[in-house]
Structure 1
């Protein structure tokens, strides 16, 4: 539940500005072009947010609030930028209008199922990133 709440907090931090920008682009260039541009902007914001904070601090704002930390494959250091981007790459699926949203939903379901069935509570994207893991620190 902590990981879900952390993602919800982080989702609001990234999602609100992204939604505003998407609305502006849709008004300026039309629905479909704005949807695509908004998807690109959302992917860049999300991957930048998670990539930078996870690789430099091991925590996003949501993880800080809920006393969680993401660690690299060695189990104690912060993940690299590359590892963090890989574990969050599913945000880039939104670049493809409509189908991307379905791929993101499928990714969220895959993450939830894998976290609960894995003894180290790693989802597929953690494994794709080389073995990153979210741990409780408080």
Structure 2
């Protein structure tokens, strides 16, 4: 349960269920829109400052990763997850993920920083997450397993 706002999530209390791919995808889409707007502003400011295009993309891409890690570690939910009543639970089964767990579960996003093929690698990593979440009885993706057993729950 939450205590209001972005309070600590207690984890495995009664009524908590694993979140499936649908709500998780919608939450991620909402978060990507927010992160993309900030990334676009960063790109625009750096572009006006005369920074070369390929360099000005890097802070925006890094911001996306930091956005997810920050909200998961500090509040247990990104704004998109909070909107849909979802929470990331740490590998201990209760509470928020640690910074290491969140960084690991979101590390695939950093693939976009690789010139030329990063977007393609990220796309395949995201497809792999969708497939593994859908196929898992616990609704955990490969990134959750990589992070030590984090879960996204609704409750």
TM-score (norm 2): 0.79
> Which residue in the other structure is 1:79 paired with?
97
Can you give the 5+ residue segments of structure 1 that lack an aligned partner in the other structure? Answer: none
Q: Highest CA radius of gyration, 1 or 2?
A: 2
The number of residues matched between the two structures is 133
The root-mean-square deviation of aligned C-alpha atoms, in Å, is: 1.5
2:42·2:56 contact (CA, 8 Å) conserved in 1? no
Aligned equivalents of 1:68 and 1:53: distance in 2? 12
Correspondences of 1:1-138 after superposition (within 5 Å): 1-26=22-47, 28-30=50-52, 34-38=53-57, 40-137=58-155
Give 1:25 shift.
3.7
Can you give the 5+ residue segments of structure 2 that lack an aligned partner in the other structure? Answer: 1-21
Q: Secondary structure at the match of 1:88?
A: helix
TM-score (norm 1): 0.88
Q: Secondary structure at the match of 1:135?
A: strand
Aligned equivalents of 1:116 and 1:78: distance in 2? 23
> Which residue in the other structure is 2:9 paired with?
none
> Which residue in the other structure is 2:16 paired with?
none
1:36·1:95 contact (CA, 8 Å) conserved in 2? no
Aligned equivalents of 1:67 and 1:61: distance in 2? 10
Which runs of at least 4 in structure 1 moved beyond 3 Å after TM superposition?
23-27
